[in-house]
Amino acid sequence: MPVLDLQQLNDFLAEHFPQGEQYGALESVGPGTAVMRLAVSAQHLRPGGSVSGPAMMGLADVAVYAALLTRIGPVPLAVTSNLNINFLRKPLAGADLIADARMLKVGRMLGVGEVYLYSGADAARAGTDPVAHATLTYAIPQ
Q: Are 126 and 116 in contact (CB under 8 A)?
A: no
Under the binding rule (CB under 8 A), the answer on residue 109 touching a second copy is: yes
How buried is 85 (Cβ within 10 angstroms: 0-12 exposed, 13-18 middle, 19+ buried)?
A: middle
- Region from 11-19, 67-75, 93-101, 119-127 binding a second copy, contact rule CB under 8 A: 11-19
- Residue from 53, 73, 93, 94 touching a second copy (CB under 8 A): that is 53
Q: DSSP characters for the chain?
A: --SS-HHHHHHHHHHH-TTGGGT-EEEEEETTEEEEEE---GGGB-TTSPBPHHHHHHHHHHHHHHHHHHHH-S-TT-EEEEEEEEE-SPPPTT--EEEEEEEEEE-SSEEEEEEEEEESTT--STTPPPSEEEEEEEEPP-
Under the binding rule (CB under 8 A), the answer on residue 49 touching a second copy is: no
Q: How far is the CB of 45 from a second copy (least distance, A)?
A: 8
Under the binding rule (CB under 8 A), the answer on residue 28 touching a second copy is: no
Under the binding rule (CB under 8 A), the answer on residue 17 touching a second copy is: yes
Q: How far is the CB of 134 from a second copy (least distance, A)?
A: 9
Residues 75-104: x/- map of binding to a second copy (CB under 8 A)? ----xxxxxxxxxxx--------------x
Q: Write out the residues near a second copy by the rule CB under 8 A.
A: 15-19, 23, 43, 46-47, 52-55, 57-58, 61, 79-89, 104-105, 109-110, 112, 114, 129-130, 133, 135, 137, 139, 142
